[in-house]
Structure 1
Amino acid sequence: MKDVNLDIVELELIKLIDEINKNVLQSEIEVDATFCPGDTGISSQIILTIISRVSSILEITIPDDCYIFYDKKEHRQLTIKEAAQKLIEKAKNGNK
């Protein structure tokens, strides 16, 4: 696993989502740390692809049942910043 911190994970997520947003969805929506992919029409299949790609780029293992853009306890979609934090916690602690 590469040494990752919140800024690195956020940046990679922003780059990936922005790329898909512009090239696949052809949207001009600005993507930053407060962007919430699940609330903007990005399908769950695309979000799963983003999770897989960021896992490969950062050389981290994300548990199969970890959907980083959703908070099961609060039943809400997460921003990129929140998802980055969740990803770091899950990558370090597994499914705990």
Structure 2
Amino acid sequence: MEVKTTASSKPLDFKRFHLTTNEWSSATTFNDRYYVYRLMVTNGSIKLLLIQDPVNQYKMGNLNAVPRDGMDITFDPAKCGEEVELLR
């Protein structure tokens, strides 16, 4: 499990994060047992998106991955993951 968190006083781009070389390698090794928890904390809102098996999601075209000291990930929550609003 990897947790990627962004905290800001105003909403930012929730659909981007970076996985290091070691994190991407672990995702490749653990396949469907590897989860990314994408957490966004802003004033008055906490959102969580769960992405299972990012390597397979990439292979299926559900997210984009660009190599840069690991992988820069962009995703569409409608195609990839399950979004949960934790606080309103």
Q: TM-score range by the shorter chain?
A: 0.3 to 0.5
> Structure 1 or 2: larger strand share?
2
Give the TM-score normalised by structure 1.
0.32
TM-score by length of 2: 0.34
Task: Please identify which structure carries the higher helix content.
Answer: 1
